[in-house]
Every structure is written in structure tokens, then in C-alpha cells.
């Protein structure tokens, strides 16, 4: 049971480039979310999803897109990377039956935009 898998673990982008951060979970969880973690800022919610085909914006959605075509996958797209998007990105999932309950996190993607 792999849990939540994020790829890649590290990425360096040039300003203006686009890329997709992948997130997959094998626990059949309905809820998935993306966070970014910056020094001294804790984790801030970017986008989240309550099920396949349903996504919504979090606290800091600008510059990011998401889609949820399957229960398992929740990719995060950076359309035109900016230095301000340098951060560590975490994907998390949780089950509906535990509303507000335990979330499972991936190991993170460390992104640097130069």
C-alpha cells in the first residue's frame, strides 16, 4: 500500500515554464488537496477536491490549476512559473467517512523557479 505518491521529488524551472506536479493515492479517498509550505508560513491550501470532477480554490490558488478526472489522481499545474512559486508542495488525501479526519500526506515536491 503506497499511500500518497508525489512526483517529482525535486524540480528546477525557469521563469515562464510550465509543469505538472503529480499526486496519486491508492486508498480510494474522496478528498484530496494541495498545499504549499514556505518558511515561517506553515502550510497554505492551494486547491482541493471532494471527488472526481469536483475541484475548488483554497487560500492561495493564483497561478495554479487542478483537475480531478479520477479518484486516484490530482495533478497540480503551474501554467507560467514565477519565482514566487518556489516552495515545497504537498498533496494530501482523506476519506469522506472521516469528515475532517486524518489526512495522509505525500513526501513533497521541492520546486525552485529561477
Partner 1 sequence: SQQGEEDPQALSIQEGENATMNCSYKTSINNLQWYRQNSGRGLVHLILIRSNEREKHSGRLRVTLDTSKKSSSLLITASRAADTASYFCATDGYQAGTALIFGKGTTLSVSS
Residues of this chain that bind partner 1 (CB under 8 A): 4, 31, 33, 35, 40-45, 48, 50, 56, 58-59, 90, 92, 99-108
Instruction: Please say which residue, 14 or 102, places its beta carbon nearer to partner 1.
Output: 102
Report how far residue 114's alpha carbon sits from residue 112's, in angstroms, rounded to the nearest whole number: 6
Instruction: Please say which residue, 17 or 107, places its beta carbon nearer to partner 1.
Output: 107
Instruction: Please say which residue, 17 or 43, places its beta carbon nearer to partner 1.
Output: 43
By 3-state DSSP, what share of the chain in percent is helix, strand and coil, each rounded to 5?
5, 50, 45
Closest approach of partner 1 to the CB of residue 82, in Å: 20
Instruction: Please say which residue, 17 or 95, places its beta carbon nearer to partner 1.
Output: 95
Cis peptide bond N-terminal to 52, omega within 30:
no
Report how far residue 100's alpha carbon sits from residue 32's, in angstroms, rounded to the nearest whole number: 12
Closest approach of partner 1 to the CB of residue 40, in Å: 7
Closest approach of partner 1 to the CB of residue 20, in Å: 19
Report how far residue 89's alpha carbon sits from residue 106's, in angstroms, rounded to the nearest whole number: 9
Amino acid at each position: 500500500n503506497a499511500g500518497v505518491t508525489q512526483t517529482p521529488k525535486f524540480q528546477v524551472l525557469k521563469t515562464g515554464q510550465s509543469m505538472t506536479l503529480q499526486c496519486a493515492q491508492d486508498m480510494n479517498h474522496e478528498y484530496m488537496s494541495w498545499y504549499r509550505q514556505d518558511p515561517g508560513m506553515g502550510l497554505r491550501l492551494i486547491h482541493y477536491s471532494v471527488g472526481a470532477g469536483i475541484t475548488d480554490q483554497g487560500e492561495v490558488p493564483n497561478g495554479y490549476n487542478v483537475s480531478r478526472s479520477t479518484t486516484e489522481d490530482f495533478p497540480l499545474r503551474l501554467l507560467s512559473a514565477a519565482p514566487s512559486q518556489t516552495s515545497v508542495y504537498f498533496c494530501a488525501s482523506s476519506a469522506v467517512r472521516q469528515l475532517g479526519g486524518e489526512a495522509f500526506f505525500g513526501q513533497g515536491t521541492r520546486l525552485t523557479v529561477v
